[in-house]
Amino acid sequence: MRAFLLRALAFTLLLSTVAIARPVPLTARQQPLQPIPNGFAIVPDVRTRVEAALTTTTALVVADYHRVDFRFGPNVKIDTVTVRVGSNPDLVRGLRVQVPDEKRGPDYERTSYVDIEEIGPLSESLTLMTDLVKGWTGIDDRRATTLTFTSAGGLRIEIREFGRVQRGLLFTGLIEPIVTTFDLQDLTALRQAVDEAGRFLRSR
């Protein structure tokens, strides 16, 4: 009886081995990845209330823009944005920051949106950056410091201090952002423009 059970167990293991070793048909295997055709479009995430309102479907969207005039070295444009969707009486408010995409031509721009709730933290960060930049000595070649503010919509302002160099960078756009360098003396002008835009939006 014991010998019979051992032979049965051995036969079962043999069948299992054959079943495992048997090639799996192509239909049961993971299909190979298909190449991405030319001309595809990458749609970025909508992370701000302003952009979500602007891209609303099946409703009338009324968007008003107001240019904020300020002196800033790079070719950066800032507009306030107020959006009304359908019959909703509430306005969605914020900023639109645009920089031309020189690689694609003057008619193309990279855009980042900033919700009104982010304007206060942005202004505060620019003030702190201005104060910290003034205290930089640049005498220690081994030290590197980075000051950064990033909004939900991809606007990123970054100050890099390394060795004896200070550098200001402004990023716009979530997908392949445009990186624009600026003079650190322009931080004050940028903060004043943000504050002016905030006052204008709060009066709407």
pLDDT at 204: 85
Beta carbons of 158 and 169 less than 8 angstroms apart = yes
- 138-171 pLDDT, tens digit per residue, is 777 777 889 999 999 999 999 998 877 889 999 9
The mean pLDDT of 53-71, rounded to a whole number, is 94
Residue 115 above 50 pLDDT?
yes
The residues that bridge with 84 in the sheet, in sequence order, are 62
- 174 and 162 in contact (C-beta within 8 Å)? no
The predicted structure's pLDDT at residue 9: 45
Predicted confidence band at 100 (pLDDT cuts at 50, 70, 90)? confident
Neighbour tally for 76: CB within 10 Å: 19
Query: Residue 129: is its pLDDT beyond 50?
Result: yes
The CATH code for residues 49-202 is 3.30.2450.30
Q: Is pLDDT above 90 for 175? A: no
Structure tokens at 130: 């201005």
Q: Say if CB 168 and CB 187 are below 8 A apart.
A: yes
Question: Which phi and psi (to 5°) does residue 195 adopt?
Answer: -65, -40
Structure token pair of residue 172 = 């716009």
- What tens digit of pLDDT does each residue of 8-36 get? 444 444 444 444 333 333 333 333 444 45
Mean pLDDT within 188-193: 94
Query: For residues 72 and 130, what is the distance between their CA atoms, to the nearest angstrom?
Result: 15
For the cut 50, the answer to whether the pLDDT of residue 192 exceeds it is: yes
Neighbours of 155 (CB within 10 A): 24
| Nearest to 74, CA basis, from 196, 193, 199 | 193
C-alpha dist (Å) from residue 200 to 83, 92, 145, 193, 197? 14, 13, 34, 11, 5
pTM above 0.85, yes or no: no
Measure Cα distances from 25 to 15, 28, 31, 98 in Å: 19, 5, 11, 53
> Taking the CB of residue 197, how many other CB atoms lie within 10 A of it?
28
DSSP type of residue 102: T
In this structure, what DSSP letter does residue 98 have?
E
- Residue 141 or 136, more confident: 136
Please tell me the predicted confidence (pLDDT) of residue 19: 40
Domain ranges within the chain, ordered by starting residue: 49-202
* Span 78-88, pLDDT tens digits: 999 999 999 99
| 181-193: b (≥16 Cβ within 10 Å) or e | ebebebbebbbbb
pLDDT at 130 over 90: yes
Higher-confidence position of 142 and 118? 118
